[in-house]
Amino acid sequence: PGDWQPTPPAFAAGLFPGWGQVTPFGLLGGAQFRAPAPPPLFTEKYADDYNEVRLLGRIDSLLRPQDRTDVARFYAAPTPVQTWNPIARQVSLAQGMTLSENARVFALLAMAIGDASIAVFETKYHYDFWRPVTAIQGGDLDGNPLTQADPNWLPLITTPAFPGYASGHATVSGAARAVLERAFGKDGHAITLTHTAVPLIVLNYTAWDEITDDVDDARVYGGIHFSFDQEAGPRRGGQVGSYLLRNYLRSPDDLDE
């Protein structure tokens, strides 16, 4: 109980098991910002987050609002790269950034996305923590009296084939947000996101935290992550982004934090 296992429908072997050992662009190594351990299975925190995703993330949940269903389906379609690069292009164009300014910002964004991906996969395979579909279908095995097994439970969106903790999309988004907040400011933007895989869903934002909040909701309401997966991700991603900003491609206008 607690260990990652292949998940339906494909029951595929774990993807990218060596990604956490890739040499980063700027970090000292994949483990530099490893997340602390997820909550033990016997804790109330685990049970609370278990029951949250059991109720809100199941494929036929009657408790999930339509806008959270839309968010879950949208963020299941693009990768973080396909999400954050178009966002940065929109804001850069609106602010009239120069070629040299763009070169620096997009280099930092790519470094942050790359290094955050390495960092989160190091964490994922270090803890090897199970996904909600495995946990909920086998909820009678976790030793927690506050959880209830549902052998027929399935998530709204397909579970990726690798361990859950910490959330990859949340970690990468946290790193991207750190870079873009420094480059463009925290809010006051006009951002529109669409994707050909979900043509009827259009998301509009004015601030970076609105996007990262939706990414967190998408994974819980989509049924593929616990809330503690999402909570750990932005913290680690923010650390990655801040570290790169302090140590690489520094602008003469930057001030040390």
Query: 58-100: per-residue pLDDT in tens?
Result: 999 999 999 999 999 999 999 999 999 999 999 999 999 999 9
Using DSSP, state whether 166 is helix, strand or coil: coil
* pLDDT confidence band for 253 (50 / 70 / 90): confident
Section 34-48 average pLDDT: 98
Q: Please state the rounded mean pLDDT for residues 122-149.
A: 97
Res 86: pLDDT: 95
> Which pLDDT score is estimated for 17?
97
Least confident segment among 170-184, 190-204, 216-230, 240-254: 240-254
The predicted pLDDT at position 255 comes to 59
Dihedral (C-alpha) 53, 54, 59, 62: value to the nearest 10 degrees?
A: -100
Average pLDDT over residues 33-42: 98
User: Mean pLDDT across the chain, nearest whole number?
Assistant: 96
Query: Has residue 201 got a pLDDT over 60?
Result: yes
User: Which band of pLDDT confidence, cut at 50, 70 and 90, is reported for residue 115?
Assistant: very high
Residue 150 has pLDDT above 60, yes or no: yes
Model's pTM, two decimal places?
0.95
132-to-28, 50, 66, 168, 214 alpha-carbon distances in Å: 32, 7, 21, 15, 19
Q: What is the mean pLDDT of the segment spanning 22-41?
A: 98
Element (H, E) at 203: strand 203-207
Q: Which residue in 1, 30, 13, 223 sits closest to 124, CA to CA?
A: 30
The residue behind tokens 């991700």 is: 233
Average pLDDT over residues 186-202: 96
Name the residue with tokens 């120069």.
98
DSSP state of 159: P
pLDDT-derived band at 256 (thresholds 50, 70, 90) equals low
HSE at residue 111, side-chain half, CA atoms within 13 A, is: 22
Report the pLDDT value the prediction gives residue 252, as an integer from 0 to 100: 77
- Residue 8 near residue 154 (C-beta atoms within 8 A): yes
Q: Is 56 left (phi over 0), alpha (psi -120 to 50) or beta?
A: alpha
